[in-house]
Structure 1
């Protein structure tokens, strides 16, 4: 997993709405370390370091759809 040099953290929040302009990433498209981070923080009040695989506003299809928030 390539970490960004921004010191930002990402959080995944379940979403029922996918914006038309959102980039949707499927879990199996992500590198192995990003997959581990997604499985650890999806739907939980946790954060992980921001990665190059996911950008703020992306949507990840995992067990449900999760919107990426990076701050």
Structure 2
């Protein structure tokens, strides 16, 4: 299943924000974060396992500060009638 990952650069970090540094990420997240940044898209699809690795982080300091939001792809959710 694919997950939507929204990646947005943050100019100002709120004082109460939980900021994680790239080095603190699990290995799979470290592998995929640079690819997401290089994609130059605000919304990309990634495998569920990658999304699960990135989901717990509010802000990540990589080359800039990034806000990461993970959403399940609506096309992959069951349709109820």
TM-based fold match above 0.5 = yes
TM-score when normalising by structure 1 = 0.69
Deviation at 1:21, TM superposition (A): 3.1
1:53 Cα deviation from its structure 2 partner = 4.4
Unaligned runs of 5+ in 2: 72-81
Q: Please give the root-mean-square deviation of Cα atoms over the aligned residues, in Å.
A: 2.4
Structure 1 residue ranges, 4+ long, deviating more than 4 angstroms after superposition: none
More strand by share: 2
Shift of 1:61: 0.3
Aligned to 2:22: 27
- Structure 1 residues 52 and 32: alpha-carbon distance in aligned structure 2, compared to 1, 3 A threshold: closer
- Structure 1 portions without partners, runs of 5+: none
The structure with the greater share of residues assigned to helix is 2
Q: How many residues align?
A: 65
Is the partner of 1:12 in helix, strand or coil? strand
Distance 1:60 1:23, change over 3 A: same
